Amino acid sequence: MSLLEVRDLRVTYGSGPNAVPAVRGVDLTLESGTKLGVAGESGCGKSTLALALLRLLPASARTEGQILLDGDDVLAMSWGRLRAVRWAGASIVFQGAMHSLNAVHRIGDQIAEPLLVHGRATPAAARTRVGELLEHVGLPAARAAAYPHELSGGQRQRVMIAMALACDPRLIVADEPTTALDVMIQAQILRLIERLVAEQSISLLMISHDLAVLADTCDRLAVMYAGRVVEEGPARAVYEAAEHPYGRALSSAFPRIGDLSSRRAPRGLPGDPPDPADLPGGCTFHPRCPVAVDACGELDQELREAGAGRRAACVHVGSTS
């Protein structure tokens, strides 16, 4: 049994004529001890997907489908069962640590909170564990007495990772964990996440707009557009030779550092992602697609086999024309 299975997940904000579909029939599988990346532009539904996995969406969101964590449906759990799963079974590293940490509490108290809530330690033992966690993520144990504003952006992100590790979860969801950090600090955080996941055999679902980061960090990669997965497969293969034109566009938007043979400049993708409240007919990518044909504006494409453990939702996949 897979550690995480997402089946036909649909998330809608609002209701009636004002309903806005943010996630539209997503299917994902994450095996124990593996790393899955989810990529796409802002507004494609990545963060909504991340929050839905632990039922952290606002009350205005309607969620349908199944989210099976070790075979137990998160969407059907009682509040008591869900409380036991959060942080202990699965935890999350939120996007933007400064907005996620409580500004008026010391970071040591915030890291200790899940330990105390889940009965994993006495107050004294929790303080010792906090020091160990901070040192584990590369911070001095003495920083437990600091407030969030006294730390740099990279240090705050390390605190969020320490908090996510506190109760030894089997799954960590990292929602753009390097947002707003400079390139050097991003690299340090990514290497830290990789090391901790490997050392503790934790499964990782990592969200980013940067295919290069995900290809370097994850085993498999899912590309989202307008609330749906349009391509999924081995991370390096998707990054280097995407089957879906949107995946190719995302890959082309980033420079290939050290790739002197191609000397290819990054290429932007014209246009903007569609408004979720007013999606185009047919394939939602066809208004921006450089290889669209007439059928693309008429019929939406389902994910289909694209060889070597890959799937893509494009009319050209498998086509001989």
pLDDT at residue 321, as a whole number: 46
Q: Which of 65, 86, 84, 87 is nearest to 76 (CA)?
A: 65
Q: Is 208 exposed, middle or buried (0-12, 13-18, 19+ CB in 10 A)?
A: buried
Does 109 lie in the same domain as 200?
Answer: no
Give every CB contact of residue 82 below 8 A, 6+ residues apart in sequence. 54, 55, 74
Shared domain check, 73 and 133: no
Domain that holds residue 74: 4-89+170-312
DSSP summary character for residue 264? P
Same-domain pairing of 178 and 161: no
What's the domain count of the chain?
A: 2
Query: Does 320 fall in a domain?
Result: no
Indicate if 8 and 85 belong to the same structural domain.
Answer: yes
What end-to-end distance do the CA atoms of the chain give, in Å?
39
The pair of structure tokens assigned to 180 is: 């707003």
Residue 43 lies in a domain: yes
- All residue ranges of the chain with pLDDT < 50 are 320-321
**What number of other Cβ atoms are within 10 A of residue 52's Cβ?**
24
Pick the last residue of a domain from 105, 135, 166.
166
Do 113 and 236 lie in one domain? The reply is no
Q: Which two tokens stand for residue 24?
A: 């539209």
Q: Does residue 312 contact residue 230 with C-beta atoms inside 8 Å?
A: yes
Euclidean distance between CA atoms 124 and 108, whole angstroms = 12
**Residue 181 shares a structural domain with residue 82:** yes
Q: Which helix (H) or strand (E) holds 39?
A: strand 35-39
* 202 part of a folded domain: yes
Statement to judge: residues 162 and 191 lie in one domain: no
H or E element: which one contains 50? helix 46-53
**Host H or E run for residue 63:** strand 61-69
DSSP 140-190: -GGGGG--GGGS-HHHHHHHHHHHHHTT--SEEEEESTTTT--HHHHHHHH
Long-range pairs of 95-98 with CB within 8 A, sequence gap ≥ 24: 95/47, 95/175, 95/176, 95/177, 95/179, 96/179, 96/180, 97/148, 97/153, 97/156, 97/157, 97/159, 97/160, 98/148, 98/149, 98/153, 98/156
3-state DSSP percent of the chain in helix, strand and coil, to 5: 35, 25, 40
In the three-class reduction of DSSP (H, G, I as helix; E, B as strand; rest coil), residue 254 is classed as coil
pTM for the model: 0.91
317 falls within a domain: no
Rounded Cα distance, 39 and 233, in Å: 12
Q: Are strands 304-307 and 61-69 parallel, antiparallel or unpaired?
A: unpaired
